[in-house]
Amino acid sequence: MRKQSLVKGTLILGLASIFTRLLGLFFRIPVQNLIGDEGMGYYQLSYPLYAVFIAISLGIPVAVSKMVSERIAVNDRSGIIQTLRYSILLMGFLSLGFTGFLFAFAKNIVSILKWDPKSYYSLICIAIAPIFIAVLSCLRGFFQGLQNMTPTAISQFLEQLGRVVFGVGLAYFLIPKGIQYAAAGASLGASIGGLIAGLYLLFKYLRVRKEICVKKIKKDKKIMDELLRIAIPISMAAAVSGVIGLIDSILVPQKLLEAGFNYQNSTILYSQLTGKAAVLINVPLGLSVALGYSLVPIISEAHVLNRDLEMKNKINTALKLAFIIAMPSLFGLFFMSHPILNLIFKGQVGGYNILKYLSLSVPFIILAQTTTSVLQGTNNCKKPVVNLLFGCIVKAILTYILVPIPKMNIYGAVIGTIAGYALASLLNIIELKRYFNIKINYYDIIIKPTYSAVIMTFFVVFIYKYVYNYTMSINISCIVSVFLGIVIYGILTIVFGVFQYKAIKKRLIRR
């Protein structure tokens, strides 16, 4: 199977991720209209626990990606298959244990965390999803290790399509029984989507398995030891990152009550933070996640073959890509938060200021994700865990202190998120420079994309107002200005020399 370059792999996964996240908005728009901010609050309260499982188990597919890439480099075909088998075994235990725990203690969790009792049904339905995600994530790690991102990209589309079709359908079917049941039906869509995507990747694997041509696989217990050694620190890092979202789930509703809000209003504010603002923030983050998935196997291969110069070049390219993604996302969401929310949620613009200020966290989140992937790809897995833990502590402290202040309320959680990721990304950069002895060209990596993003924003705002004066339509103005903004930004990155056209063409065609 032919390998893909860092830029090409990132582009394939990134476009798939953005497309599937936009497709996910087609899930949220009808569901939002059906159950409103209150119902989305029930859905969102349970989702961070599922995200914690994803975070805890994330180390295994990333470890699979790294180990498969290293074994391909030394032509260890038997080790490739063994790595996948052990990973599925581990994920099976994790998923069954997590699902069983949520089924057994769902009512206790709702009570202890002081959630609205109606959120119980969503929690039960989301508890099923880990069973289907287990095999799916391992197979994605396998194909990423082969440095072929296309199967993962297609599986992401299928997973989201299943979630949209069945999640919206169940929500619509159950709405007559009550908002809480419709929210639960929407949660169940995640499980069905995971099942569909998993079946597709299993079919793809069976075809690739024939190409690998391994007749007899020798059992090697060292593979399991290596898998655990790599996966545990990565899972811890991902779990800490997931805990940042869980902190909001635990602290924000409670602290909003202390700030003087009732249950309903605190649920609505929490929904605006996590069900609207965070969802739109996650759209550009899809590109950075794709960058991380592409980066780990490529960095791992260069590291195991001692290609230091190639590795440093890949790191610089990755950091540049990170800020090319981050800066236009920051400025676009900050200055266009109101029309974007109006477009996506059909006039339900409550929470647009939350989105506006939460967008300030985007560069720090993307930088933290990218630098973590670099460190993980070179067996330096523990340091990002510690750095994210420090960020998590800062996030928790600020959320705990600021949210109960009536004038601050939900924005205290936003400040905590920005500060937490800023600290984690700064500590990762320090470790990166120390570990690799690498010189970072801040002008090329940060300043040039910022120039391009600022000029792009000027044009976007001007175009938006100009089109609005003619059409008197917020939605048409938003679509036209954002589309032209993407085109303008692409041109500006070439004009400012962020990337040379020839270099982009070369990276897309070959490694």
> For residue range 247-269, what is the model confidence (pLDDT) as tens digits?
787 888 888 888 888 878 888 88
What is the mean predicted confidence (pLDDT) over 196-205?
89
DSSP element (H, E) containing 109: helix 77-112
Two structure tokens written together for 37: 């901010």
- pLDDT value of position 510: 46
Answer yes or no: is pLDDT of 381 > 90: no
What is the mean predicted confidence (pLDDT) over 337-352?
83
Query: Could you tell me what percent of the chain has a pLDDT over 70?
Result: 88
Query: Which range (8-12, 287-291, 360-364, 401-405) has the least confidence?
Result: 8-12
Q: How far apart are CA 314 and CA 301, in angstroms?
A: 11
Q: How does residue 25 score in pLDDT terms, banded at 50, 70 and 90?
A: low
What is the mean predicted confidence (pLDDT) over 345-364?
88
Question: Does residue 263 contact residue 275 with C-beta atoms inside 8 Å?
Answer: no
Answer yes or no: is pLDDT of 198 > 60: yes
Q: How far apart are CA 382 and CA 375, in angstroms?
A: 9
Q: How does residue 242 score in pLDDT terms, banded at 50, 70 and 90?
A: low
What is the mean predicted confidence (pLDDT) over 406-418?
92
- How do residues 148-162 score in pLDDT, each as one tens digit? 778 888 888 898 888
Question: Does residue 239 contact residue 56 with C-beta atoms inside 8 Å?
Answer: yes
Q: How far apart are CA 33 and CA 25, in angstroms?
A: 12
Instruction: Classify residue 306 by burial, with Cβ atoms within 10 Å: 0-12, 13-18, 19+.
Output: exposed
- pLDDT value of position 511: 45
Q: How far apart are CA 179 and CA 183, in angstroms?
A: 6
Tell me the longest C-alpha to C-alpha distance in the chain: 71
**Angle formed by the axes of helices 59-73 and 77-112, nearest 10°:** 170
Answer yes or no: is pLDDT of 8 > 70: no
- pLDDT value of position 357: 94
Strand boundaries in 35-154, DSSP class E: none
- pLDDT value of position 32: 75
Q: How far apart are CA 133 and CA 129, in angstroms?
A: 6
Instruction: Classify residue 92 by burial, with Cβ atoms within 10 Å: 0-12, 13-18, 19+.
Output: middle
- How do residues 163-174 score in pLDDT, each as one tens digit? 888 888 888 888
Q: How far apart are CA 72 and CA 143, in angstroms?
A: 12
Beta-carbon contacts of 320 under 8 Å, excluding residues fewer than 6 positions away, are 444, 445, 449, 498, 499
- How do residues 482-493 score in pLDDT, each as one tens digit? 999 999 998 998
**DSSP state string for 437-479:** -PPP-HIIIIIHHHHHHHHHHHHHHHHHHHHHHHH--HHHHHH
Answer yes or no: is pLDDT of 127 > 60: yes
Two structure tokens written together for 352: 């647009």
Question: 265-297 burial, b if ≥16 CB within 10 A, otherwise e?
Answer: bbbbbbbbbbbbbbbbbebbbbbbbbbbbbbbb
CA distances from 186 to 88, 126, 416, 456 (A): 27, 9, 29, 37
Answer yes or no: is pLDDT of 16 > 80: no
> Residue 76 region, left (φ>0) first, then alpha (ψ -120 to 50), else beta?
beta
Q: How does residue 501 score in pLDDT terms, banded at 50, 70 and 90?
A: low
Question: Does residue 305 contact residue 75 with C-beta atoms inside 8 Å?
Answer: no
Q: How far apart are CA 435 and CA 363, in angstroms?
A: 22
> Residue 409 region, left (φ>0) first, then alpha (ψ -120 to 50), else beta?
left
Best mean pLDDT range from 137-146, 325-334, 341-350: 325-334
What is the mean predicted confidence (pLDDT) over 452-471?
94
CA distances from 288 to 147, 182, 293, 324, 363 (A): 17, 32, 9, 10, 10
∠ CA 127-131-136 to the nearest 5 degrees? Answer: 125
Two structure tokens written together for 206: 């069976």
**Nearest residue to 244 via CA among 85, 129, 384, 394:** 394
Q: How does residue 496 score in pLDDT terms, banded at 50, 70 and 90?
A: confident
Best mean pLDDT range from 23-37, 85-99, 307-321, 405-419: 405-419
Two structure tokens written together for 331: 């400025």
- pLDDT value of position 500: 61
What is the mean predicted confidence (pLDDT) over 355-367?
94
Q: How does residue 390 score in pLDDT terms, banded at 50, 70 and 90?
A: very high
Query: DSSP assignment, residue 275?
Result: I
Q: How far apart are CA 266 and CA 271, in angstroms?
A: 8
- 140 or 382, which is more confident? 140
Answer yes or no: is pLDDT of 375 > 90: no
Answer yes or no: is pLDDT of 103 > 60: yes
Q: How does residue 401 score in pLDDT terms, banded at 50, 70 and 90?
A: very high
Count Cβ atoms below 10 Å from residue 465 Cβ, excluding itself. Answer: 11
Task: Find tokens 């295994």 and name the residue.
Answer: 60
Best mean pLDDT range from 41-55, 58-72, 451-465: 451-465
Q: How does residue 358 score in pLDDT terms, banded at 50, 70 and 90?
A: very high
Query: Could you tell me what percent of the chain has a pLDDT over 90?
Result: 20
- 97 or 501, which is more confident? 97
∠ CA 145-147-151 to the nearest 5 degrees? Answer: 90
